[in-house]
Amino acid sequence: MFEKADTAIETLGEARVPTSYRRGIQCSHNNCFVCDSDRVLLETSLEKVLACARAGETPVSFEKAGPRKSIYFDPKKLRCALVTCGGLCPGLNDIIRAIVLELYYAYGVRNIYGVRHGFAGFIPEYGYDFEDLAPDKVADIHGRGGTMLGSSRGHQDIGEIVDCLDRMNIGILFTIGGDGTLMASTKICDAIKERGLKTAVIGIPKTIDNDIYLVSKSFGFDTAVDMATHAIRSAHTEALGYPLGVGLVKLMGRYSGFIAVTASLAQQDVNFVLIPEVDFDLEGPNGLLASLRERLATRGHAVIVVAEGAGQKFFGGASGTDASGNVRLHDIGLFLKDEIGKYLKSQGMDSGVKYIDPSYMIRSLPANSNDNVFCSFLARNAVHAGMAGKTRMLIGYWHDEFVHVPMDASAGKRKKVDPNGKLWQSLLEATGQEDLRQGQALGFRE
């Protein structure tokens, strides 16, 4: 349930500067400029739209992303900064490159700075210099994984960050990161507003887990799924290669199992998928161990995919937090490997469990072709929004459209796999997996 105000986008002021967008003449001719009145519906259900109409209400919608005819900033005087935060993810360099090229060539902005090692780069005591970014500096970075600017985790003083933005006279700050970065970005916006500064903050949501709220797809996810299928294929080969072979793959997904589910659908050699959103038991007649024993007795091999955040209940409590305040997860992959090995041995089943964890290899890869294209759209739309004076927002993707999403509507919330939704139900059909707590006997697939 959303109120209309939830999708309203803040601005620094009225956009009065005629656009310097180099495709302006072509855009005027082809009518490709976007107005704030161009909207994308939050809900596309005809029933819900008609219900709004009958109630005399306007359906909730997002502002559409794209170039505006009038902009807020004078490109000749504008100074922009980019920062990448949190864990690595395929596509970070693609985002940096596309932002720089769009600012430089499309709008004529010449003062573009990269902030080194996340928000720590704003704090003088760390001693990180800003990096001047121009087309020649970013020309080839999209072929490399990671981020050319470096990243970091941990809380930094918001006041010191805004002090630096003020000293540097930064007009637009592009923050590229996950939920923690979005939360910090909202606090930066609060401090900017309190001081009366004219600095726009535009977020580009980065999470390999694809769990950003109100964003149907995030960059790096396609690459992660693509590479995760290779790990699943290897696990299946290993499982087939030995009597009663078990292939176990742990994939990314702290709170949401989108990678595990999507990769398992893409490479349909998986028999059990364990994700944080769906509880499961180890013991009992329908628990994982008994179901695995039945699978091995019936088919002679099995493949299990587990998201890193699944099954944390088996560890009896958290193991502290990392520098960003995230709960440190127990290693469910190694735990399952040991438990499965012990159980099968107790059942007189001589089985070898082959365990694969490709997480860091996937995170550090360059983006694949689909993510290359997606990153370009995200970055260029972020530039259009910033130049128009939009702020406290992120670039989202909704119903196959790029849109402006208020940070406050997304930050601190999380998108999850719906156990009753189409994605999970499709997974159950593909694997034959049923409820691993109280389901009936599993109908196994080949």
Active-site annotation, residues = 209
Number of neighbouring beta carbons within 10 Å of residue 429: 12
- Backbone CA torsion sign across 332, 338, 340, 346: negative
**Degrees to nearest 5, angle at CA 77 with 74 and 79:** 105
- With vertex at residue 275, the alpha carbon angle to CA 418 and CA 340, rounded to the nearest 5 degrees, is 150
Determine the Cα–Cα distance for residues 107 and 220; give it in Å rounded to an integer: 27
Report the C-alpha gap between 381 and 72 in whole angstroms.
Answer: 15
Q: Which of 224, 298, 271 is nearest to 430 (CA)?
A: 271
How far is residue 14's CA from residue 70's CA, in Å, rounded to a whole number? 9
- The letter for the amino acid at 202 is I
Residue ranges of alpha helices (H) inside 61-156 are 92-101, 135-138
H or E element, residue 272: strand 272-274
Query: CA–CA distance from 137 to each of 96, 160, 364 (Å)?
Result: 11, 28, 20
